[in-house]
Amino acid sequence: MERRELSRRTIALCLAGGIFHAFFALWLTGFVRGRSFWGTNTPESPAGAALLSVTVLGLVLLGSVPLVLFFRYRLLSPFVALFILFTWAFYGSYQYFEEVRATGTTPIGLYADSLFGILWFVPLAIVLLVGLVEYLVRSRLDSRPLEAPSD
């Protein structure tokens, strides 16, 4: 397949989508856990700042990848996979933390919303794998190239 470059406008749009995804995921993490945005995302040590930086960069990447795959190859399944993972993770965590708050116990450990925090590389791998499967299926079934038209 012919390799096409993305325009600066398209790259900026993908980056803006990734930044929106990162801030929304971090805000939702605080909401689900019953804390404020800054209370959840304020590092208390240099190691915590480094972890938060890697997490934010990973979430930006995770939000940008489906957009790049759409604009470059017109793949839709990465969006669907990310939406399903995002909804499952945060809704499941919300239900768990509501139950914990009702019983008054202390939650310990990783929860499903951690997939959109420190474990951002897991949904990224799933999104890429789903996109690869769609790309292979579409390239086998359709003789037209899957690259997006140049803008």
Burial of 86 (0-12, 13-18, 19+ CB in 10 A): buried
pLDDT at 145: 59
Could you tell me if residue 3 is inside a domain? Answer: no
Could you tell me if residue 96 is inside a domain? Answer: yes
What single-letter amino acid sits at 7? S
Q: Which domain holds residue 112?
A: 8-141
Q: Is 2 helix (H, G, I), strand (E, B) or coil?
A: coil
What single-letter amino acid sits at 141? L
pLDDT at 114: 81
Could you tell me if residue 47 is inside a domain? Answer: yes
Judge whether residue 59 has pLDDT over 90: yes
Could you tell me if residue 146 is inside a domain? Answer: no
Coarse DSSP helix, strand, coil percentages of the chain, rounded to the nearest 5 percent: 75, 0, 25
Could you tell me if residue 63 is inside a domain? Answer: yes
- The number of domains in the chain is 1
- pLDDT grade for 123, boundaries at 50, 70 and 90: very high
Among 55, 37, 39, which residue's Cα sits nearest to residue 47?
55
pLDDT at 44: 86
Could you tell me if residue 151 is inside a domain? Answer: no
- HEC profile of 134-150: HHHHHHHHCCCCCCCCC
Mean pLDDT over residues 126-139, rounded? 95
| CA–CA dist 31, 60 (Å, integer) | 19
Judge whether residue 151 has pLDDT over 60: no
Judge whether residue 2 has pLDDT over 50: no
Cβ–Cβ under 8 Å, residues 11 and 49: no
| CA–CA dist 132, 151 (Å, integer) | 24
